[in-house]
Amino acid sequence: MKKPMFRTELNISPYNFTISHNSTIVSIGSCFADMIGKQFEKYKFNVLSNPFGNIYNPLSLHRLFKNHEFLTNSYIERDGCYFSPHLHSEIFAHSQEELSEIIRTKKQTFDLKIENADTLILTYGTAWVYQTKANSEIVANCHKLPQHLFEKKLLSVDEMVDDFKKLALSIKDFNKKRIIVTVSPVMHIKDTLSLNNVSKSSLRLFVHQIENAFENVHYFPAFELVNDDLRDYRFFKSDMIHPNEQAEEYVWKKFTQAVFDANTHNFVKNWDEILSAKAHKPFNPTSETHQKFLKSQIAKLESLSSQTNVSEEIGFFKKQLI
């Protein structure tokens, strides 16, 4: 008798390109972009992840590609610290001049990485934005300023699509880059669950339209993997908002199945073994058995050195040799 199915698994067809250790990757957007970025970092890929902190709405995310003067055209002062309304609160300083220099330096690194990147991962978190009542400027972060200074607005699908088209025109060799777009599965319950669903629906329509409009834009269904495939609160952290480690690992595995070739999959498998070996606590570090174990890890790392820089890991094991 066929066993009953208690979930609907989402299977993702491989993309028409692959990501390898020869790729240069930039992952920006909501906190889901951090998760993907950290996984790439873990496996020694060339990646830049959210240098300006988490950015949630599409228009603020797209503005990161403009010149740095735009990002420093206004400041918010609170409790002796200065913030940019266009960036996350983790970017701050104790003077406007210091903050401007921090942003300028980060922007230089970001622009250089974008110029050399072949893969951009853009994660959109919400279509709700706050704009100042004073000049109707959309901000990325209110930085705890009084709510009466802002008006809340839902971006229309057309607004987001038009802004993305402007972004495409502003990026050099845009059509040569692989653009992976995702909708964050993290719920924004401050908007209420109902309005969160309105927001996510708007984002999903937006990314669907740009995927159809640009041959190099590819949608990755992170939102559907968490909310339709896993579909259970046991895959969320205790706040019941953010996917937990088990859910993140599931989404990452699905992602790798879509974009990694056999050689990169093999590297990831070997690297997991290397990380386990690094965490191993020997009972007798000077024993012949452990010394053989160390040499075997060094040999494995040397076999992987053609794909990425593993000198730090080789040094870790060599220090323990007698």
Domain CATH for 103: 3.40.50.1110
Look at residue 105 and tell me if it is in a domain.
Answer: yes
Other C-beta atoms lying within 10 Å of the C-beta of residue 11: 8
- Identify the sign of the CA torsion 306, 308, 311, 317: negative
Query: What residue numbers bound the domain in which 133 lies?
Result: 24-260
Domain co-membership, 116 together with 38: yes
Look at residue 191 and tell me if it is in a domain.
Answer: yes
- Among the listed residues 187, 167, 193, the one whose alpha carbon sits nearest the alpha carbon of residue 179: 167
Domain co-membership, 92 together with 170: yes
**Contacting residues for 256 by C-beta, under 8 A, at least 6 apart:** 264, 265, 268
Determine the Cα–Cα distance for residues 309 and 167; give it in Å rounded to an integer: 33
Look at residue 223 and tell me if it is in a domain.
Answer: yes
Amino acid sitting at position 277: A
Look at residue 53 and tell me if it is in a domain.
Answer: yes
Look at residue 4 and tell me if it is in a domain.
Answer: no
Question: How does pLDDT run along the chain (322 residues), one tens digit per residue?
Answer: 455 567 789 999 999 999 999 999 999 999 889 999 999 999 999 999 999 999 999 999 999 998 777 788 889 998 899 999 999 999 999 999 999 999 999 999 999 999 999 999 999 999 999 999 999 999 999 999 999 999 999 999 999 999 999 999 999 999 999 999 999 999 988 889 999 999 999 999 999 999 999 999 999 999 999 999 999 999 999 999 999 999 999 999 999 999 999 999 999 999 999 999 999 999 999 999 999 999 999 999 999 999 999 999 999 999 999 8
Look at residue 19 and tell me if it is in a domain.
Answer: no
| Cα 115 to chain centroid, rounded | 18
pTM: predicted TM-score of the whole model, two decimal places = 0.93
DSSP 3-state assignment of 28? strand
Domain co-membership, 171 together with 277: no
Domain co-membership, 96 together with 137: yes
Look at residue 16 and tell me if it is in a domain.
Answer: no
